Structure formats: C-alpha cells, structure tokens
Amino acid sequence: MLKQLTDDNFATEVLAMSKDKPVLVDFFATWCGPCKMQMPIVEAVAEEIGEGAVVGAMNVEVGQATAQEYGVMSIPTLIVFKAGQPSKTFVGVQTKQTLLQELKG
C-alpha cells in the first residue's frame, strides 16, 4: 500500500520505519507529466514488495520543507531510505525493476 507522506508524518513514516526495512519515497507534483507516468510504477512496486519495504509518496507542493531538506530539485525524485538515512537517490522516471532491485538489495 502506498503511504501518503507529509512534512508532519515524514519522521515517523519514513525515518523511524527505515530502521527496520527500506523505505522508498516518491517526491512528485500533481501537475508534473513524468510524475504521472511514475506513480503507477511506484504503486506496482508497493503492491509487489508487500511487507518487505515501505513505499510512500510526497507531493512537493504540500511537503516543501522535507523536499528542500533532501535536496529535491527535479521531480520525480525517488529516494530510498535505510537505517534512517537516504541510501540511494533516483531523478526522473524509473522502472519497476530498478526500484525493486534497490529495495531488495
């Protein structure tokens, strides 16, 4: 299931959860064409990975502070968090296989 992330819930849903399992965060905007292409892929990753990882999406228009904190300059940007820290950043549309490989690896 895809979690909806905000500046308010980021610490508990991402940083705390990533201590136990990897967390993928998709930084997007509703008006962004490539983001609209990425979202179904992220949803498919969430469904396939199940309990093996946490997958969330953050609208940069709502979560501006968090996006700025992690240096999100272009969207979509996808960041994998492990042990409370960013471990891998992808900019631009990514394939399901690439994302699954990073979460399982």
Rg from Cα positions in the chain: 12
Whole-angstrom Cα distance, residue 21 to residue 53? Answer: 5
Q: Which residue has tokens 């940007």?
A: 77
Nearest to 46 by CA among 68, 21, 83: 21
Q: Does residue 32 carry a catalytic annotation? A: yes
Whole-angstrom Cα distance, residue 66 to residue 64? Answer: 6
Q: Which of 23, 35, 57, 72 is catalytic?
A: 35
Q: Which of 32, 44, 62, 91 is catalytic?
A: 32
Q: Does residue 101 carry a catalytic annotation? A: no
Catalytic residues: 32, 35
